[in-house]
A and B are shown apart, each in its own frame.
Chain A
Amino acid sequence: MNAYPFLLEVLQVAALALVAPLFAGWVKVLKCWSQGRTSPGLLQPVRDLRKLFAKEVLLAENASWVFRFAPYLVFGVALLAGGVIPILSVDLPLAPTADVIVIVALFAIARFFTALAGMDIGTAFGGMGASREMTVASLAEPAMLMAIFTISLGSQTTSLAEIVRSIQGGHHLLLRPSFAFAVLAFVLIALAETGRIPVDNPATHLELTMIHEAMILEYSGRHLALIEWAGMMKLALFSYLGIAAFFPWGIAVSRDLRALGLAFGAMALKLAAVGAGIVLIETGLAKMRIFRLTEFLGAAFLMATLGMISFFILE
Chain B
Amino acid sequence: MDLELAARINGFLAALVLLTAFAMLAQRRMNGLIHLFAWQGLLLSVNAAIVGYAAARHHLYISSVLTLGLKVVLLPYILHALIRRLRIHKEIEVVVNIPTTMLIGIGLVIFSYQLTAPIRELSTMVTRSTLAVALATVLLGLLMMITRRHAVTQIVGFLALENGLFFAATSATYGMPLVVELGVALDVLIAAFIFGIFFFHIHATFESLDVEQMARLKEGD
Contacts and interface: CB of A to CB of B under 8 A. Distances in A.
| A and B, direct touch (CB closer than 8 Å) | yes
B99 A298 contact: yes
Nearest to B113: A313
Contacts of A312: 113
B11 interface: yes
A299 interface: yes
Given A175-B9, A295-B26, A302-B22, A313 B129 contact: yes
B77 interface: no
Nearest to A177: B15
Given A299-B26, A313-B113, A306 B18 contact: yes
A54 interface: no
A246 interface: no
B22 A294 contact: no
Contact of A314 (B98, B99, B133): B133
Interface string B25-37: 0100000000000
A180 B9 CA distance: 13
Interface residues of A, number: 19
Interface string B10-25: 0110111011001000
Interface in A117-137: none
Nearest to A314: B11
A172 interface: yes
Given A177-B12, A310-B15, A315-B11, A298 B113 contact: no
A306 B113 contact: no
Contact of B98 (A172, A176, A295): A295
A295 B94 CA distance: 14
B170 interface: no
B8 A302 contact: no
B96 to A, nearest CB: 13
B172 interface: no
Interface residues of B, number: 23
Nearest to B14: A314
A309 B11 contact: no
Nearest to A178: B15
B113 A309 contact: yes
B26 A309 contact: no
B26 A306 contact: no
Contacts of B19: 181, 306
A159 interface: no
B113 A302 contact: no
A201 interface: no
Contact of B15 (A294, A299, A306): A306
A177 B110 contact: no
Contact of A177 (B14, B22, B99, B105): B14
Contacts of A299: 26, 102
Given A172-B8, A295-B98, A302-B22, A314 B15 contact: yes
Interface of B: 8-9, 11-12, 14-16, 18-19, 22, 26, 98-99, 102, 105-106, 109-110, 113, 129-130, 132-133
The 5 residue pairs across chains A and B that have the minimum distance between CB atoms: A177-B15, A314-B11, A298-B99, A175-B8, A310-B15
27 contacts: A175-B9, A175-B12, A176-B8, A177-B11, A177-B16, A180-B12, A181-B19, A294-B99, A295-B98, A298-B102, A299-B26, A302-B105, A302-B106, A306-B15, A306-B18, A306-B19, A306-B106, A309-B110, A310-B11, A310-B14, A310-B15, A310-B18, A312-B113, A313-B113, A314-B14, A314-B15, A314-B133
